[in-house]
Chains A and B, each alone.
Chain A
Amino acid sequence: MQRNADFHTRTEEALANAQLKASLRSAMDGLMASRKACFPDADAFERLRLRGAQIRVNALSKLPQLLELLERNCTRNGIRVHWAESVDEANETVLGIMREHQAALLIKGKSMVSEEMDLNRFLESHGIECLESDLGEYILQLAGEPPSHIVAPAIHKTRQDIAKLFKQKFPDIPYSEDVDTLTRNARGILRKKFHAASVGLSGVNFAVAESGTLCLVENEGNGRMCTTVPPVHIAVTGIEKVVEKLEHIPPLLKLLTRSATGQRITTYFNMISSPRKTGEKDGPKEVHLILLDNGRSRIYEDEELVNTLRCIRCGACMNHCPIYTRIGGHAYGTTIPGPIGSVLEPQKAGLKSLGELPVASTLCGACAEVCPVRIPIPRLLNRLRFERIRNDHVGTTRGQGSSRTFNEAIAWKAWSWLHRNPVGYRLAMTLVTRLRNILPLGIGPWTQARKAPRIAAKTLHQRAREEGFNDQ
C-alpha cells in the first residue's frame, strides 16, 4: 500500500534495526519448527500438497464457471453477490451498503483483501469508522501501521512496544507488559464495539461453489463475532479463492493451518452459507459477498503466471524465506510481502513500480519447498525477471521491459556471444589468468563484505589438457 521510498532504502532501514531482526528471527524459527512438527512424514506431506495443488488447479481451470456457480448458489442461499473490477468499485460497494444501513462503524475481521482495498482509509474519508478486531491488526491500527505478515500481522512488535502503545492510547488503563492482561484489555474494549457495530466485515479463506459457502479460518473468535453479531455481514474476497466442492475443503484446511502456524487446526473454522433464516435467533440478517478482481483476471491470462493465483495465503513462504526473515513485511511496501508477494504484487501494480521485488531473491527455493499448493515460486520469480527486461511486447504482464537498460542488455549480449564462441572464450579466459594480478575483481558491493575471489593461474580448460583428459 505504501509505495513510497524504494525497496533498498527500506531494506537497509530494516537491517539496521536489531530489535526487528531478533523478533523476526525468533518468530520465524518458531513458526518453522511448529510447521515441521505438523508434517512428520515427508511422503505423506508430498501427497497431501499434491492434492492441495490439484484442488487449486482444478478450481482455477474452471474459474469462470465456478464463479458463476458460486454466485448462483450464494444467491439461492440469500447471500447478495457483488462484483468489483477494481478496488475503487469494491470500496464503493462497501460504502453503499454502509450508507444503506446508515452505519457509522464497521468492525472488521482479518482480511488481506480489505488491506489491498485500503478500505479503512477510504471509509474514514467518508466519515465511517473502521475498527480492526483481530488482536494483531487492532494493535497495528492503534500504531497506524500496515500488517507486516499476512498471518501474524504484528510479528515485528514486542510486548513492550504494545504495552507502551496501549498506555498512550488508553491512559486510563494501568500499564502492563503482561500478555494476558494486554489481551484482556483488548477484549474489553473490542467487546463493546462488537456489541455496537451494525456492520461486520470479513475476508474469505475458501468460497465453495457447489454449496455457496464462505469459509473462515481463525483462532480468536473475532471473525465469528464480525460475521455473527452485527445485523449486516460483508465478506470481501479475491475471485481466485473459489473452490469447486465441499470435499475439497478438508485437505485445504489441513494444509493451510499446518503450513501457516503449525496448528493441526485453528480454534474456529466458520462456514457461512446464508444469512439468518426465519426462526434463527442470531446471525446477520444480510450477508454480502464482494468478488474482487483488481488485476487477477489479467494474471489469469498467462499460462505460467496464473499459478500465482493458487495461493491460499498461509504465509509459509514468508516464514521460510531468508530475505523476509531479515527485513520483515514492511520493507516490501506491498499488501502481501515475502516470496508470494514478490510474485503477486508486481503483477498487480506493474513491474515499473515493483520490478525490484522479483530480483530481491536468491532463488533458494525454500518457499517452493514448503508451499502447500506447490506454487513454483522461484520459477515465477525468474519469469518476472524476464518480463521486467523483455522488449518484445508479447503477453499481458504490466510494466514489461521497464527495467531494461541499454548497458545491461549489451553486457548480456556480449556475455552470450563470448560463451558460445569457445575459441574466443578460451582465449579470453587464458588472457584473464595471465592478467590475474592486475585485474580489478574487487568489484564494489562484493568486497564490502568479502575478499575478492582469486583468479587461477591456469583455467581448467588448460589444466584438463595438461593432465591428459580427452576432448572427445
Chain B
Amino acid sequence: MPEQKRYPAKPNKAYFFATCLVDLLYPEAGLAGMQLIRREGVEVIFPQDQTCCGQPAWNSGYRDEARMVALRQLACFAEDYPVVVPSGSCAGMMRHHYPEMLRGHADESDIEAFCSRVYELTEFLVHVLQIELKDLGEPVKVALHTSCSARREMGVADEHEVLLKQLSKVELLEQARKEECCGFGGTFAIKQPALSAEMVSDKANAIIETGADLLVSGDCGCLMNLGGHLDYRESSIESRHIASFVWERTHATER
C-alpha cells in the first residue's frame, strides 16, 4: 500500500536510474526523462556504473544473485540526491523491496535513506519539480496503461494522468478494466505463455476499443508486452513511454 509520501523542494541535482530495459530497448525514453528533468533546471547525473535493480532475479527466487546486484547499484547513488526511475516497477523494487532484500547485508540507515529518495519519474515531475507542460503537438487520442507496480506499489497512477492531462491537445481515453494487469509479469510472460497471451490480448482489445491512436505507459515491461502484441496484431496503435511522449510533445524542435 502506498504510504503518504512527503516530497522535498526542487533539488539542484538528481540521479537518474535508467533500468535495464530502458538501457537496451528504450534508451530514448530514458533520455527523454533526463531531458525533462534537465529542462526544469536540475542537473541530471547518470552514473555509468548502474545496471539493473535486481528485480528479475529477486522475483525468480534467486535472492543472493539479486542482492549482490542491488548492493552494486547502491554504490552508484551515494550522494543525497533524489534517484529518479522511469519505471514504477523498478522504482517499487528499489523503494519498497530493498529494505527487506538487504536486511542484514547493508547498513540499515543507509538503505532506509536510499530507499526514501527513490522516485518514479512521473511523481518526481509532478510533485518535486511541479512541472508545467505546454503542449506543442497535434491533437491525439491516447490510452494510458499504468503498470500494476506504478499503481499499487508506488501509488502513482494519478501522477501519470495528471501529467497527460496537462497536455491540452491530448485526449485521454479510458479503457475497460484499466486497473487489470497486462500479463507481463517479467518471467511470467515466458513461463506461462498461454495465460500471458490471453491477458495481453484482452488488454489490447480494451485499448483498441477506446479508439486511441497511441498507447502510453510508464513502464517498459508493459510497453514491450502490449506494444509487442499490438504490433503482432498489426494494429495501427503505436506505443510510447510516457517520458518520450511528454518530451516529444513539449520540446520545441526546429521542424
Contact = CB atoms under 8 A, between A and B. Distances in A.
B188 interface: yes
A433 interface: yes
Most buried by A among B64, B179, B181: B181
Interface in B127-182: 148-149, 152-153, 179-181
B244 interface: no
Given A415-B57, A460-B18, A422 B50 contact: yes
A235 B72 CA distance: 55
A37 interface: no
Contacts of B194: 8, 11-12, 15
Interface string A374-397: 100001001001111110000000
Contacts, number: 210
B224 interface: yes
B237 interface: no
Contact of A46 (B1, B31, B45, B148): B1
B56 A449 contact: no
Interface stretch (A92-100, A163-171, A212-220, A354-362): A354-362
Given A469-B16, A470-B43, A359 B192 contact: yes
Contacts of A408: 60
Contacts of A422: 48-51, 72
Contact of B34 (A362, A390, A420, A469): A469
B68 A453 contact: no
B82 interface: no
A416 B66 CA distance: 7
B195 interface: yes
Contact of B152 (A11, A365, A425, A464): A365
B50 to A, nearest CB: 7
Contacts of B25: 453-456
Interface residues of B, number: 75
Contact of B192 (A11, A386, A456): A11
Interface in B36-75: 38, 43-52, 54, 56-66, 68-69, 71-72
Interface stretch (A79-87, A248-256, A269-277, A321-329): A321-329
Interface stretch (B106-114, B115-123, B197-205, B210-218): B197-205
Contact of B61 (A12, A327, A390): A390
Interface of B: 1, 16, 18, 20, 22-28, 30-31, 34-35, 38, 43-52, 54, 56-66, 68-69, 71-72, 100, 148-149, 152-153, 179-181, 183-201, 224-225, 228-229, 231-232
